[in-house]
Amino acid sequence: MKITKLILLIFFVLLFFRPRPAAAHDGWVEITPAIVEKGQVSMIVLLHGNHSNEHRSYRIAGKWDQKYTTVFVFDPQGKQNALTDRLIDLGEDAEKTGPKGPKGFYLAPFTSKEEGLYQALVRQVRTLQREDGPKFLSIRTAKTAFAALSVPTVAAAKNLKGFDHALGGEDGLEIIPLTNPLGIFSKDSVTLELRHKGKPIGGKEISLIRRIDSAASAQDRATDDKGRVTFVVGPADSYLARVKFDVDSPRPDGQIDKSSYEATYVFQVFNRP
Amino acid sequence: MSFRFSIVLSSALLFFSLHVSGRLALAHAYPAVSIPNNGATVKEPPREVRIQFTEGVEIAFSQITVKGATGEVVSQGKLRQLAEDTLAIDLKPLNPGNYTVEWQVLSVDTHVTEGVLRFTVGAAGK
């Protein structure tokens, strides 16, 4: 009987102190197709799903919160094109859904006017504070890139420059590709840099998830002291890199402000020509 | 209790505690159950509104405000956390009429959700 009690005690201790997933859902942005003929329409899609919980998949869960979301496309000259007011809601109505909340996505069409590399940046910023209570800040940054070319080929997109510029501002978390995201082939190495408030940050785990294989394909790597991490990609498909962490900031009055930072980056992997 | 049974029990519990429970999904918090229920008509005025969410919530960053048909606030006092996923707010004495419950919570996975529930006291909503 003593052994049984001991076993039960250990069980409840393990249950209480079990490791919990660091996060759950996160938002990402996809553009289809990733390489288009100049003057053609690209569809920018804002999705929200299951990358970071146990599913580790592209399964849709929830929606971006449109009230707090901004969408920009940076053209080859670095000029910002605001698409926030052009978002079309193709998801469920929040007032008519069950206890799990609305699911779905937003879409914005964009027509390229010149040749070159375009980058999409989506940010969702939320703050909460009740009277003089603790403050909560949440910043989510999602990025991806696409190319508009007279001859839209992977071989031409591979020569594009400018993909390694920071776009996300000085307050959030941002994944920056150091490898051209439009020239990645199966079995290539891809190096990403993570910046927090504009500076490289080490020791944060970035996960890379392939769309079709989902959990089976997931790779987790911690950023080095330069904020960098390198993955070897698998078969041709869409891949998503994601990272999330929270920061607690104790105040002199004993309350604890909380900040939550999320970042995703989506890129295509192509078959070798 | 045989030694063999103890081994089997400990193995089963260890598997559950390390494997199954560690893989629990975290998601956004939305009302799973509310009292009064969303859309309900109640005869007796409730003294509180209670909401159980689909996930745990952080009370420091959450709020529930109950308003009458003309927008007057009828909730009072501090928000109370009855369980990791359950919040409650006290109400002033309510007259017959329609009421809305505006909720906003921060789930334990640090995502903010919000919405509105409705209930009616007496026959005013009919």
How many angstroms separate the CA of residue A134 from the nearest CA in chain B?
7
B15, two tokens: 């598997």
- The three state secondary structure string of chain A is CHHHHHHHHHHHHHHHCCCCCCCCCEEEEEEECCEEECCCEEEEEEEEECCCCCCCCCCECCCCCHHHEEEEEECCCCCEEECHHHCEECCCCHHHCCCCCCCCCEEEEEECCCCEEEEEEEEEEEEECCCCCCCEEEEEEEEEEEEEECCCCHHHHCCCCCCCCCCCCCCCEEEEECCCCCCCECCCEEEEEEEECCEECCCCEEEEEECCCHHHHCEEEECCCCCEEEEECCCCEEEEEEEEEEEEEECCCCCEEEEEEEEEEEEEEECCC
Q: Do B110 and A23 touch (CB under 8 A)?
A: yes
A67 pLDDT more than 70: yes
> Range with the lowest mean pLDDT among A17-21, A71-75, A171-175?
A17-21
Kindly indicate the confidence band of residue A109, based on its pLDDT and cuts at 50, 70 and 90: very high
Question: Which residue is it, tokens 């929200």?
Answer: A48
Each residue's pLDDT tens digit, B83-117: 999 999 999 999 999 999 999 999 887 888 888 99
Residues 42-61 of B with CB under 8 A from A: 54, 58, 60-61
What average pLDDT does this structure show over A136-165?
Answer: 96
A95 pLDDT more than 90: no
What average pLDDT does this structure show over A96-115?
Answer: 83
Nearest residue on chain B to A1, alpha-carbon basis = B1
Find out whether A63 and A104 touch, Cβ atoms under 8 Å: yes
Residue B41: the pLDDT is: 96
CA distance A178 to A268: 15
**Which ipTM was obtained for this model?**
0.71
CB count within 10 Å of CB A160 equals 20
A103, two tokens: 């699911």
Between strands B112-121 and B40-42, the pairing is: parallel
In sequence order, the β-bridge partners of residue B80 are B88
> Range with the lowest mean pLDDT among A5-19, A67-81, A207-221, B64-78?
A5-19
Residue B8: the pLDDT is: 57
Cα-based distances in Å from B69 to A13, A87, A94: 49, 33, 22
Domain ranges of chain B: 27-121
Q: Do B28 and A101 touch (CB under 8 A)?
A: yes
B5, two tokens: 């049974």
What average pLDDT does this structure show over A44-62?
Answer: 76
Percent of chain A with pLDDT over 90: 71
What average pLDDT does this structure show over A109-128?
Answer: 96
User: Domain A22-269 classified CATH 1.10.3720.10?
Assistant: no
What average pLDDT does this structure show over A239-250?
Answer: 94
Q: Which stretches in chain B have pLDDT values below 70?
A: 1-27, 123-126
How many angstroms separate the CA of residue B43 from the nearest CA in chain A?
25
Residue A114: the pLDDT is: 95
A20 pLDDT more than 70: no
Residue A74: the pLDDT is: 97
Q: Do A18 and B17 touch (CB under 8 A)?
A: yes
* CATH number of the domain located at residue range(s) B27-121 in this protein: 2.60.40.1220
Find out whether A227 and A195 touch, Cβ atoms under 8 Å: yes
Judge whether B12 is closer than 8 Å to chain A, CB to CB.
no
Residue B5: the pLDDT is: 57
Q: Do B27 and A24 touch (CB under 8 A)?
A: yes
- Which candidate from B17, B25, B30 shows the least CB-CB separation from A24? B25
Is A203 exposed, middle or buried (CB count within 10 Å of its CB: 0-12, 13-18, 19+)? exposed
What average pLDDT does this structure show over A45-55?
Answer: 75
What average pLDDT does this structure show over A30-57?
Answer: 85
